[in-house]
Amino acid sequence: MTGTALKTLSNSRRAARTALCRAARGNGAMDQNYTHQPVLLEEAAALLVTDRSGTYVDATLGLAGHTIKLLSVLDEKAKVLGVDWDPEMAALAAGKLEPYGARAKVVQGNFANIDEILRRENLPAVTGILFDLGISSLHFDKPSRGFSLKHEGPLDMRINPANPLTAFSIINHWPYEQIEHLIRIVGERNSNRIARAVVDKRAAGPLETTAELRDLIERVIPFRGEKIHPATKTFLALRVAVNYEFDNLTRGIQKAMPFLASGGRMGIITFHSLEDRIVKETFKIMADIGEWKMVTRKPVVPSETEVLLNKRARSAKLRVIEKA
């Protein structure tokens, strides 16, 4: 095949992929039955609830699994405020919570600004706040959101689609050094080979889809049936960067602290060691200052049965701290 024919073929493949992504994007989730199996549900409710008629905040509402659990153990006077950064998720959760009337309220927003949200909602002292970090199964299962290795979708990965930064912009516009660093900090040993492959590939035209990136990584680091796919850590690194996840977490904890009533608790469920390290270290500093005491000396982890029933739970860790 001549160089021109090859270029035409690759352009038409790219056009087909872009059309697929556009089609997937237009295929709204509102009419589909997406589910998310909440992790450490019993444990989180048991450790967070100290007053059955209190006011609680679910800072990562998702599809409202933890909120509904909390409402089931709380009495009629109690209230739960659910916050989610993703407008689609907030809308789906609001529908699920309709039967609970005024006991549950949903707000779309970033928990990094939880202070502003709580001030706006006139909630100066809450009884408990829960963060169940990361993304929901809906995000993984809906190809148009571009989070999953398994489905072909645009390189997007934004929790809130109003944000300017996408995985596409990182992959296609960031310099080699920044991409390599980003992938390395999540523990990818082949960060230099992956970043080099990305930079070489994009010289011939932008990488548009999750499948293009996954396949490229598979060519550099062949998949030989290891526990995790060779692109898993790169996808995680992109998601964390696109959504400023570490920064949001640190800010979220700090901003929530003054809004907990005395005896109120903050519970955080993490899914990877970098997140857990931030929570562990921040909670330690809080306890050392003296105004807080650790409720969980060691993180609470899911039972074997939960992990068997829900593979996603296998890396979950719950830590809880209480305000004196």
User: φ, ψ for residue 84 (rounded to 5)?
Assistant: -140, 140
If DSSP codes are grouped into helix, strand and coil, which group holds residue 101? helix
Min dist. Cβ of residue 254 to ligand SAM (A):
13
Q: Is 36 in the site for ligand SAM (CB under 6 A)?
A: yes
62 is a contact residue toward ligand SAM (CB under 6 A) = yes
Distance CA 179, CA 166 (A): 13
Among 45, 48, 85, 168, which residue sits at the site for ligand SAM (rule: CB under 6 A)? Answer: 85
56 binds ligand SAM (CB under 6 A): no
Q: Is 267 in the site for ligand SAM (CB under 6 A)?
A: no
Nearest to 131 by CA among 310, 283, 2, 12: 283
Cα 134 from Cα 218, distance rounded (Å)? 25
Rule CB under 6 A: is residue 89 a binding residue for ligand SAM? yes
Answer yes or no whether residue 241 interacts with ligand SAM by CB under 6 A. Answer: no
Residues 136, 145 contacting (CB under 8 angstroms):
no
Q: Which stretch binds ligand SAM (CB under 6 A): 25-33, 119-127, 130-138, 219-227?
A: 130-138
Interface stretch with ligand SAM, choices 21-29, 128-136, 144-152, 275-283 (CB under 6 A): 128-136
Contact of 321 with 266, CB cutoff 8 Å: yes
The size of the interface with ligand SAM (CB under 6 A), counted in residues, is 22
Q: Tell me if 317 contacts ligand SAM by CB under 6 A.
A: no
Rounded to whole angstroms, the Cα distance separating 37 from 55 reads 24
Neighbours of 173 (CB within 10 A): 11
146 touches ligand SAM by CB under 6 A:
no
* Tokens, residue 109: 């927003």
82 versus 154: smaller Cβ distance to ligand SAM: 82
The one segment of 95-103, 134-142, 172-180, 185-193 that binds ligand SAM by CB under 6 A: 134-142
- Amino acid at site 103: R
Q: How far is the CB of 135 from ligand SAM (least distance, A)?
A: 5
Q: Do residues 134 and 36 touch, judged by C-beta distance below 8 A?
A: no
Q: Which residues bind ligand SAM (CB under 6 A)?
A: 36, 38, 60, 62-66, 83-86, 89, 110-112, 132, 134-136, 159, 248
